[in-house]
Structure 1
Amino acid sequence: MPSPRVLSTAAVLAMTLPLFCSGAASAAVPTSSVYLQNYRTGLDAADSGGTVAAHNPKGNEDHQQWTPVAVSGGYQLRNADESNSCLGRNGSSAVTASCGADGTTWSIAEAGDSTYSVSVPGTSQYLTGATDSGSVQLGSYGDLARWYLTPVSYATTGMPSADTRTLDQVTFLTAHNAFANGADGNFASFPVSLFPNQDRGISSQLADGVRGFMLDDYTVSNQAVLCHNSCDGVSSPVPLATDLQRIVDFLKAHPGQFATVFLEDYASSDVLKSSLASVSGLNDVLYRPDQEGVAAKGWPTMADLSARGKQLLIFSDRTRASDTASGWATRDTFGVMYQREWTVENYWSMGAGLGDSDWSCYSRWGTDRPLTTDSAAFHPLFVMNQFRDYPIGSTIATDNGKLLNRAQNFCTPAARKKPNYLAVDRYETGSPTPLTTVGTLNTYILAPGQ
């Protein structure tokens, strides 16, 4: 993995990088290394043995970095880690070829919302992405022919003051399977019960600085309870309401603090609504972005949320369509937001608990909602997962120590935004610890323009 490549604003300004946020003003074609990232899918153009293919973003590990170089008649796109290798074309296919060979000169033009078109000079043939891991082709113009030239080394500026920073500018430490901790009660049957994702209970997590909580809720005896994989064979699982009460009580005792709950949600709307109704004080602190026009005007400041005592946001991974199809009330009618409407999230697994790891960063929900999903007014919150299929202690410590590196060099470029939630196992382990990494990310935001 590379060392962090986050540059100062002044350094990146000198390289004339494009704007890093959608809806930005006109910008020149960059002259430094970029990811050729498809607007429609979020996938990167990568050299794959001479063929150019659409791959999941993977930092510097997959020949995905290109440097635009002005030449007579247009630009070459030189692969940043392969000598004299340029983006070229062979018939309708994108390939790599020796720089300067026929077919390696391209026209690059702005295409709106910080995107560019890459075309064959003097023609209506455009570089066109694939909707999966297929080959990059030449075709007609459309959303698949729009590309971000996402900077490899991006500009940052200092975190706004405490009274002006907005929710989407802040990063929170998040506990993956926060309930599966072996301290608060039973969460799984044997042998899964032998492998807790966390070592400390919810109250300790709150005291330690955890502010995001991933919880799996199932229905037992018409009550939402917390189990991992299923509740079969789990004696006395912890009720969802119990852990929510712990969180609400903490927030009421600590004005100005903000927490988010992410439900991997297997309960019906009626069961979930009933369980939430039993949590004392929940409605006092519950934040409702759907009722405040966030989708049209953006997220509020943290100071505003604090002043109003709105301290808790709850998401469900279910969809509005699935609830409607089941004949259930939609969850947002009682304050639970549909996560896919408000966030983007990378795929959860980096591999098994031992062995090779996958550091690529791509959408949990596929190319229909890539990590790059954005708009001028409303920026979805970015949930970054960093954990494995199975929580193995030594692997967790190593992965947590590399969290900052992956956040800065893999996932920030992949999403074109800084992570808002860093979800990990056993958050107290690693060097630096995930809480230290959260502190680092909370010292800056991405620069609004170059």
Structure 2
Amino acid sequence: MSNAADRWLFPNQTHTITRQLTDGARALMLDLHIVDGEVHLVHSKPFLGKRLLTDGLIEIRHFLEKTPKAVVTIIFESYVPADAVKQCFDETELTKFVHSQQVNDPWPTLNQLISTGKRLVLFTDRGGGQWSGYHDVWTFCTETHFSVKSVDDFSFEFNRGKPTNRLFILNHFLTNPVASTSLARQANNPDLLNNRIETCHRQTKHLPTFVVVDFFEIGDTVKTVQQFNMKK
């Protein structure tokens, strides 16, 4: 979301949403705020950068239409009523792609999601369950801590969400005091990232579902995660 290509200040990524997806990212973390009465993508404060949510959703819809075998997940940090988010999805004709999951049901495979056309999975920390497919993130997911300043501080302790939740968000980025490419070069080192994924899986018995990084192209993190997936 917060990226240098769109001229955000203190960005977490280099490239646009479309470029991130095209290059292999399959999960996005998007922050939602109301600015001037409309739902915007905002990271922390509007003066650092903002964009209409509908514009971002149109990018995602175009990618899904052009890439019929792609499954994408969005995890929202939301400060917006659920019905306002739903309106944006309806306006951009993206609702038809949204998968709806019952808490106690087994998750479909990627191929099953592709075959049904429901190739967009949504989570939110506010208003989950208020419309079909808008899932409460901490009902389904658990995560590691996200406020880390040094690679020495990376841990395997769970933060939010019950440890028994099936989906696992592995936060693997540094913020000191903001994100930067120099910090990403440390965190995204392929050996470090691979070792953290392997060790985390071994110690927690959780296979990471989502590996969250800043400036994903640094260190070729997509390749590192793909290689791990192939081994599993």
What TM-score, normalized to structure 1?
0.48
Residues 1:400 and 2:198 aligned together: no
What is the CA deviation profile of residues 301-325 of structure 1, one whole-angstrom value per residue up to 9, with x for unaligned ones? 221111111110111022xxxx5xx
> Could you tell me how far 1:356 is from its partner in structure 2?
6.2
Residues 1:229 and 2:38 aligned together: no
Q: 1:387 & 1:316 partners in 2: Cα distance?
A: 20
After TM superposition, the structure 1 = structure 2 runs for residues 50-449 of structure 1, keeping only pairs within 5 Å, are: 179-184=1-6, 187=8, 193=9, 195-231=10-46, 233=47, 237-280=50-93, 282-290=94-102, 295-318=103-126, 323=127, 331-351=129-149, 357-365=152-160, 369-371=161-163, 373-374=164-165, 380-389=166-175, 390-401=178-189, 402-409=192-199, 411-430=200-219, 433-445=220-232
> Could you tell me how far 1:271 is from its partner in structure 2?
2.2
Amino acid in the other structure paired with 1:317: D
Q: 2:60 & 2:92 partners in 1: Cα distance?
A: 10
8 Å Cα contact 2:138-2:162 kept in structure 1: no
Cα 1:210–1:182 change in 2 (3 A) is same
Q: Which consecutive unaligned segments of at least 5 residues does structure 1 have?
A: 1-178, 188-192, 324-329, 375-379, 446-450
Does the residue aligned with 2:131 lie in a helix, a strand or coil? helix
| Amino-acid identity (%) | 29
Higher helix share: 2
Q: Indicate the RMSD between aligned Cα atoms, in angstroms.
A: 1.9
- Following TM superposition, the consecutive aligned residue runs of length 4 or more in structure 1 with deviations greater than 4 angstroms are none
Does the residue aligned with 1:181 lie in a helix, a strand or coil? coil
8 Å Cα contact 1:387-1:396 kept in structure 2: yes
Q: Which consecutive unaligned segments of at least 5 residues does structure 2 have?
A: none
8 Å Cα contact 1:216-1:263 kept in structure 2: yes
Q: 1:331 & 1:360 partners in 2: Cα distance?
A: 31
Q: 2:48 & 2:171 partners in 1: Cα distance?
A: 26
Does the residue aligned with 1:383 lie in a helix, a strand or coil? strand
Does the residue aligned with 1:296 lie in a helix, a strand or coil? coil
> Could you tell me how far 1:388 is from its partner in structure 2?
1.5
Q: 1:356 & 1:309 partners in 2: Cα distance?
A: 39
Q: 2:48 & 2:212 partners in 1: Cα distance?
A: 25
Higher RCO (CA 8 Å, separation ≥ 6 residues): 1
Cα 1:299–1:356 change in 2 (3 A) is closer
Q: 1:258 & 1:246 partners in 2: Cα distance?
A: 14
Amino acid in the other structure paired with 1:251: L
Q: 2:183 & 2:48 partners in 1: Cα distance?
A: 27
Q: How many residues align?
A: 228
What is the CA deviation profile of residues 278-302 of structure 1, one whole-angstrom value per residue up to 9, with x for unaligned ones? 212x122111113xxxx33411122
Cα 1:317–1:415 change in 2 (3 A) is farther
> Could you tell me how far 1:255 is from its partner in structure 2?
0.9
> Could you tell me how far 1:251 is from its partner in structure 2?
0.8
What TM-score, normalized to structure 2?
0.90
